Each structure stands twice: as structure tokens, then as C-alpha cells.
Amino acid sequence: MAKKIFVTGEPGIGKTTLVSKVVYELKSLGYVVGGVLTRDVREKGVRVGFE
């Protein structure tokens, strides 16, 4: 059965880093992992878009 996990929080606290590490570990254990992971693009500390 598929599970859905949403991660929210303030900018810069490590959400993307956390999710990247969790995905890596789950895949190394043989789990099939999918979804959308975006990284923001910043100029002078201001978010201007996403990769």
C-alpha cells in the first residue's frame, strides 16, 4: 500500500536535505520511492524559482 508523506516548515531548516536522505535510505533497503522533490533557486537570499 502506498504511503504519502508531506514535509512542511520554514525556509532553510533542512526539509529537502531530510527528504533526500530518507529517500536514499529507503531505496537502499529496496523500497520503491517516487514523488516530487524540488530545490529552490535563490538570488541574494530571495527565492526566485525552483529547479
| Domain map (residue ranges) of the chain | 15-50
Q: Give the pLDDT mean for 31-50.
A: 88
Strand blocks (E) in 1-51: 40-43, 46-50
Q: Which residue has the higher pLDDT, 6 or 29?
A: 29
Q: Check whether 36 has a pLDDT greater than 90.
A: no
pTM, full prediction: 0.68
H or E element, residue 17: helix 15-28
Select from 12, 5, 2, 13 the least CA-distant residue to 37: 5
Q: Check whether 31 has a pLDDT greater than 90.
A: yes
